[in-house]
Structure 1
């Protein structure tokens, strides 16, 4: 039942992705023929947010094309989340399964994360119920094997791997004791190695202090910051906000769902038991923590943490609400099972239909927004020629115009993270600074200190003069000729590539460095 219900939600969300093409939605990007280059291995100086996901994508591409991998990851994030939560309450009957599955998959957190292009983050959350199931008591080897297998989807990203290790430690402690928890959780730390090593390799993973405020929770509804977070919204990115969250009926539906979950939590606490307490804590603690980190004191703490190598990867505190979604969905399912126990079959069906209607009403525009965002697009026809014009032995490739986020390709509707580093073997020098739009004005978030800092023309000219840049990749047609020392090796309508091959004296044309945007 849980698989069927989650599958229906996936169809409503992602039916438009059945058309050919690539999905380029903010952080969710890939390229034709991705390579196992510096970016995929986290050796390009950027924060390893997509490690080891990009490396796995490149390795599997000859067998499973990158475009298909995208769709599997996207659908799998919602399908595994809904089915996993449903499995946790399967012993309570189909009303609990249907309710829990719908609550877990149809809510502001899931939709906003997908609109931000963070299906990999959602996949980490989707692993939580499966980790709980895997940690059931049993022989050590069997328990460890189940735990590591359940954690693999989460380990595709740093956030997911940390979430998986923490879940294994806490759940195993509750079910099997501290010794067994250490024996299960410690081996699972190996899942963090792919991103921990590059994250701690040097200063590039440090972030600016203003990143704490830029990526803190913000109100995205008419309920204020507290109401937005308690109803599993409050994402920092305006581009992922849902207009329905400011409408009266969805707000009332969201508040009604909170009351349902809260009532179930009260009943669970009265019933006693460690499992009930853990479930209530999973639902209630994350929103409190997210709100606390959005206060002046919490932001001050986060500002300090931005300077610790590796910890800047976790500045987006809104992601923690995924734990609350899992706990709240289970609680909602348990309440429905309890209240419908003595009802007749027609009455049970009506009750479940009512609660499902309330849940759907909380985010009525979710499918429409996801259909618009996840529109498959085609890379420029010249893409392969442009990529092949960049020698694998190049030292650095400068990607211009200087902005982290590219405008939509023809047919697309959403800007996306520059995918060029995923297509080239040499290290790329790209803008990593983001401008996060706020109601009180834009916030510039400098992203660390890359090997070659090119955020002003003077530094750019120095980099070119020092011969550290071998190739310049232009998105579009530049308004000037290549600088001295470079020759045009690809001259297309949407991409231009210059390569060093002449006079070593170099001068970067004026006006090519443009500010980045979200």
Structure 2
């Protein structure tokens, strides 16, 4: 009980550290994050006729909730839930007996450039997926189908999150037992809203090739784009990146953290049963990060996201995360001022 209280207390402190400037009533306007008092429930939110379903079913869910709850309250609760759930999920996922190890994992999973940059640019829907991933991995490890579907449902409120959740389940569920097949099928079904909307829309699915260069990962210091991605940063918009990421010491800290992550993998392999699915995710980040710095050749769908989720899960599960430079408070204050 004491260990659980410490973990939840740490998660609550992280919520305060990251989101305290947003505690007062009112709306936070930060690039793509815009809430209104009451979002009208329209058919084009469910199935856009002349646009790609980039926010299906997220916009519909927000419209339904804001019919009874003010938009500003929905925004604050969702942001707090993201930070809290991410911290608790990462802490619970680590197979360690020491409470301190779980607390380090919880802090490290939240105190990252990725979460700060996505908060600043307003990608809260993608952060819902980020917060749900530790719970999804834990449910897959325990073969708990109801919890897996619930975590996948939270992750799938955006098309990007749905694809990440589906890919994660496919990687984690390696055997072909009936329950595993049901998990894959259920996660695929959760992507049906945006898939059906994509089939029904008249909007073209082709993108401007210039978008690959415009949204490619950006180098933050002398280590270039690959170094930025290895540290879970590298977002294309320089205005949404913390100034501390430009320090020449950041790549050295990143190398240290990655070395600790590699050491943590050996610990995990001894604590999880042989062939345990979560271990596979620890090696996914180099493959998924590698195409991003290559301008003009990476797929358009990859160019829009800096960093990848597997690297954060690797850090959390490998006991390798430590607290970063304290810029989370600063970055959210910037977000509040932008509104």
Fold match (TM-score > 0.5): yes
- What pairs with 1:24-63 in structure 2 (closer than 5 Å)? 24-63=29-68
1:329 maps to which residue? 316
- What pairs with 1:470-485 in structure 2 (closer than 5 Å)? none
**Aligned partners of 1:204 and 1:190: how far apart in 2?**
24
2:130 to 113, 117, 125: 125
**Aligned partners of 1:48 and 1:185: how far apart in 2?**
22
1:110 maps to which residue? 115
Rate the CA distance shift 1:101–1:150 in 2: closer, same or farther, 3 A.
Answer: same
- Check if 1:283 corresponds to 2:208: no
Rate the CA distance shift 1:294–1:155 in 2: closer, same or farther, 3 A.
Answer: same
Answer whether contact 2:137 2:278 (CA < 8 A) is retained.
no
1:233 maps to which residue? 233
Answer whether contact 2:141 2:278 (CA < 8 A) is retained.
no
Answer whether contact 1:125 1:323 (CA < 8 A) is retained.
no
Rate the CA distance shift 1:267–1:97 in 2: closer, same or farther, 3 A.
Answer: closer
Please state whether the residue corresponding to 1:46 is helix, strand or coil.
Answer: coil
1:186 maps to which residue? 185
- What pairs with 1:321-360 in structure 2 (closer than 5 Å)? 321-332=308-319, 356=322, 359-360=323-324
Answer whether contact 1:86 1:98 (CA < 8 A) is retained.
yes
**Aligned partners of 1:136 and 1:253: how far apart in 2?**
31
RMSD between aligned residues: 2.5
- What pairs with 1:388-403 in structure 2 (closer than 5 Å)? none
Question: How far did 1:285 drift?
Answer: 2.3
Rate the CA distance shift 1:221–1:38 in 2: closer, same or farther, 3 A.
Answer: farther
2:3 maps to which residue? none
List gaps (5 residues or longer) in structure 1: 307-311, 334-354, 376-411, 415-518
Once the two structures are superposed, residues 26-52 of structure 1 have per-residue CA deviations (whole angstroms, 9 ceiling, x without a partner) of: 111121211112442241422222211
- Check if 1:7 corresponds to 2:12: yes
- Check if 1:19 corresponds to 2:24: yes
Question: How far did 1:164 drift?
Answer: 1.6
**Aligned partners of 1:20 and 1:54: how far apart in 2?**
22
1:369 maps to which residue? 331
1:221 maps to which residue? 221
- What pairs with 1:290-439 in structure 2 (closer than 5 Å)? 290-295=289-294, 299-300=296-297, 302=299, 306=300, 312=301, 315-318=303-306, 321-332=308-319, 356=322, 359-361=323-325, 364-373=326-335, 375=336, 412-413=337-338
2:245 maps to which residue? 245
2:195 maps to which residue? 196
TM-score normalized by the length of structure 2: 0.88
Question: How far did 1:180 drift?
Answer: 3.3
**Aligned partners of 2:275 and 2:312: how far apart in 1?**
19
- Check if 1:77 corresponds to 2:82: yes
**Greater C-alpha Rg:** 1
The count of corresponding residues between Structure 1 and Structure 2 is 332
Larger helix proportion of the pair? 2
Answer whether contact 1:282 1:327 (CA < 8 A) is retained.
yes
Rate the CA distance shift 1:77–1:137 in 2: closer, same or farther, 3 A.
Answer: closer
Question: How far did 1:71 drift?
Answer: 1.2
